[in-house]
Amino acid sequence: MPWLYYRLKPKHKLWALAWQQQQQAELMALETIQFGEDCFVAPEANLFAEPGRQITIGDRTAIAADTFIHGPLTLGRNVGINHGCSFDGGRHGITIGDNSRIASGVAIYAFNHGLAANALIDQQPVHSQGVVLGKDVWVGSRACIRDGVEIADHAVVGMGAVVTKDVPAYAIVAGNPARIIGDRRDKPDAHPDYLAAN
């Protein structure tokens, strides 16, 4: 569990840090992956980044167990990817901004097949536009995000949502297909200093 790694006492962090350095070195030797400082990747995570489909992971970013990631993918600083997520960057990639949180079981696919009736599905052309999530985005468990979508800074995607269109900054979306159900700035517990700074 990544969050436990960051809460270790100093004497335990020494062996855990060496373990993570070895884990990340093995991944970098096999795949085109670049890690920032103080990252965590569970040994049960599955990361695939052949040449031309690089995975770049920002400082203090964590990837939990049973996650499947196929680049291209760029994760910002302090991003949390919980267990069981499935990401495929297609040709144009997935970008997730700083301080974003992705709950368990989220699927993000930056490609799509054609649907024409005159060819079998496995013979359809594949299209890719890419997917972009901004900074401080929270995606709830089991949400799905399709190719071509941009989710702006500070937005929230509800559990089980199917996001097929762009999401504006601070919007809260839910449902299938996802629609706007609120705005984070309207929440009574929003801290005024945070809102003023962002």
pLDDT tens, position by position, 55-113: 999 999 999 999 999 999 999 999 999 999 999 999 999 999 999 999 999 999 999 98
Question: What three-state secondary structure class fits 33?
Answer: strand
Number of folded domains that form the chain: 1
pLDDT for residue 8 = 72
With contact defined as beta carbons under 8 Å apart, do 40 and 62 qualify? yes
Which residues span the domain enclosing 169? 2-197
Q: Can you read off the two tokens belonging to residue 163?
A: 């996001």
CATH number of the structural domain spanning residue 44? 2.160.10.10
| Short-list 158, 155, 160, 159, CA closest to 184 | 155
- CA count, 13 A, side-chain hemisphere, 76: 16
